Amino acid sequence: MNETPWILFCIDSAGPASASYAVEIAAQRMRGWDRDGVAFHQLIKPPEGAASGASALFAYSLETLERDGLASASVHRELLLYSGQAPWVAYELEKNWEVLLGDWLQLGMVPPGERGFCAASLAQRLLDPLPAANCKIEMLRQFYQLPERTPKSALSQLETLGDLLEAVLRPITETRGLQTWQEIVDFTLAPWFPSRITFGKFKGRLFQDAVQDEELAKWLEWLAASSNEQSASMGAWYLERLGTVSAGAAASWKFGPQDSRAPKGDHGAPVDASSDVVLVSDLGEERLKARVAQARARLAELEAAYTIDKRAVETAQSVLFGILRPYFQRRDKLGLVVRYRRKFLEALLAGGEEEAEEVVRESETAAHQTDTEYEQTASAMADRKVLSEEEEEELKRLWRKLVGLFHPDRFASEPDKQEAYAELTREINDARDKGDIARLREIVRDPEEFMAKMGLSSLNFATEQEMGGLEKLLHSLESMILATLTALETLREDPAYELHQLNERRPGFIEEAAKEQARKVETEIEALEEEAAKLQSEITELNGGEGAGI
């Protein structure tokens, strides 16, 4: 692998899925695992008649592409000269390769080189049981605390992918004994299924647990005997490996001891540039305990950040809802009136007064349900407490301690304690979501006393001492970290988060936005009032001067 030349690339595309085209290309010549020279990067002018707006992955407007992009033929000629005959590698190779092939075919160019390996397939196999298969590059960047690249672009994604290969994946391939280019290609193409089961009654469990869990072992045998070819292949694949692995021996990868001189990642946490990556199964007990403590601390920080951001978003929505509720509620009631007056007319003409009276009763139920839903929404929003900076910091401190109390595998083998444990976690999560710091303090101060007060059975919260339990705990914490990162990213992509951010930067923005929205809703109300009055007039005329009670 050391001297093999290949091309690492990333593209941003636009257009329909069946005929997408590249609008940005970034590529890096590689020699073995090392970057070879400067990267190639260029924007491409969109074809004539392309729709305006942002491109598929990032945020290039049509105007930006037309201003800064070069002609497609010119860019691709330069790219072919840059790449030579080297094989091509991308994170989602199949999709990106199809776009390039489509462009080259359109331009009458002969594809250079050949497809290499899919970096996503390499990552999902090497990082297993971490659920890397469905992760974006950005999620893995945050999980491994790699440097943040801005602004978002194909070039920044390419650089992040290079960081991931260099700092995380390369050390693992070397540890695995994958030395040559062909060995790595074959490794990514070989049949593979994730160690953590992704569906069914054992979803989330490691298949290796079947060594000690007879029920899980029987389920895998049942899967292998399935009439569905893919299911049978999966079951057979698991059973074959159960003959060679022991319980808890699944590989998980983390950085080694962090150095204060290392570059900084998310939240100012240092990133180990030396790439001291090791197998969890190769760690001694003390190092494994240290990794568990680090994972718990990071999970606590991320969950606290998510909680604070989520509450801030909900608070902004609550303010907006409070201002707009009378308008929305009026509009929705009028919408129901129009809907049921139409239905009343249809019933009256088709079935007579009895059927029409049934419509009146339906309308009363619907109106009551709408009022109830508004009251419930208002009540739920009223429970959200805005925290000061000091309270937010205290919440983080409390959460760090509470993360030590719960995780997915705790008491999994003790069904008699599961109910009490589940109730405790519900209390903790409810207090967290509401910003109830007093309740969190009470739980942290003495969990056993809190449980006794709640009428729950006693639980032993001593730290796991056995290696197998520690390994499973670390796997679970890593999965929770990744899930929290994903939730945080999703939250920050929500338009409601942007509303909160705008209001933070410009106090009073929510009130301004609400006034603008209220004007639009008032226009809808006027139209509905006019239609409702017209329908009432028709009903009164048909009823000989009597209107419907709608």
pTM of the model: 0.72
Residues pairing with 27 in the sheet: 9, 40
Provide the terminal-to-terminal Cα distance of the chain, rounded to the nearest Å.
77
**Consecutive H or E run containing 542:** helix 509-542
What is the β-pairing status of strands 21-31 and 34-35?
antiparallel
pLDDT at 133: 57
> Who's near 544: CB < 8 A, 6+ residues apart?
none
What is each CA distance from 449 to 417, 430, 440, in whole angstroms? 16, 18, 13
Q: From first to last of the 550 residues of the chain, give the pLDDT tens digit.
A: 778 999 999 999 888 776 789 999 999 999 999 999 999 999 999 887 665 444 444 457 778 888 899 999 999 999 999 999 999 999 999 999 999 999 999 999 988 888 999 999 999 999 988 876 567 888 899 999 999 987 889 999 999 999 999 999 999 999 999 999 999 999 999 999 999 898 888 888 889 889 888 999 999 999 999 999 999 999 999 999 988 543 333 333 333 333 332 333 333 333 333 333 444 555 678 888 888 888 888 888 888 888 888 888 988 898 999 999 999 999 999 999 999 999 999 999 988 888 999 999 999 999 999 999 999 988 887 766 667 888 878 887 887 778 766 655 566 566 667 777 778 888 888 888 778 889 999 988 888 888 888 887 776 665 545 566 777 778 888 888 888 898 999 999 899 999 999 999 999 999 999 999 999 999 999 999 999 999 999 999 887 777 677 8
- The set of residues, in sequence order, having a beta carbon less than 8 Å from that of 131 and lying 6+ positions away, is 194, 196, 479, 482
Average pLDDT, rounded, for the chain: 83
In this structure, what are the phi and psi dihedrals at residue 116, rounded to the nearest 5 degrees? -100, -115
The pLDDT of residue 62: 79
Q: CA nearest 48: which of 36, 65, 32?
A: 65
CA distances to 329, 370, 536 from 525, rounded to whole Å, are 10, 17, 16
Whether residue 151 is preceded by a cis peptide bond, meaning omega within 30 degrees of 0, is yes
For residue 129, say if its preceding peptide bond is cis, omega within 30 degrees of 0. Answer: yes
Q: Are 395 and 308 in contact (CB under 8 A)?
A: yes
Which of 124, 144, 136, 126 lies closest to 198 in space, CA to CA? 124
- Paired with 264 in beta bridges are 270
- DSSP secondary structure letters along 169-209: IHHHHHHHT--SHHHHHHHHHS----SB--SSTTTT-BGGG
Whether 395 contacts 428, CB under 8 Å = no
Of all helices (H) and strands (E), which one includes residue 94?
helix 93-107
pLDDT confidence of residue 231: 93
Identify whether the C-beta of residue 25 lies closer than 8 Å to the C-beta of residue 9. yes
**Can you give the pLDDT at residue 94?**
93
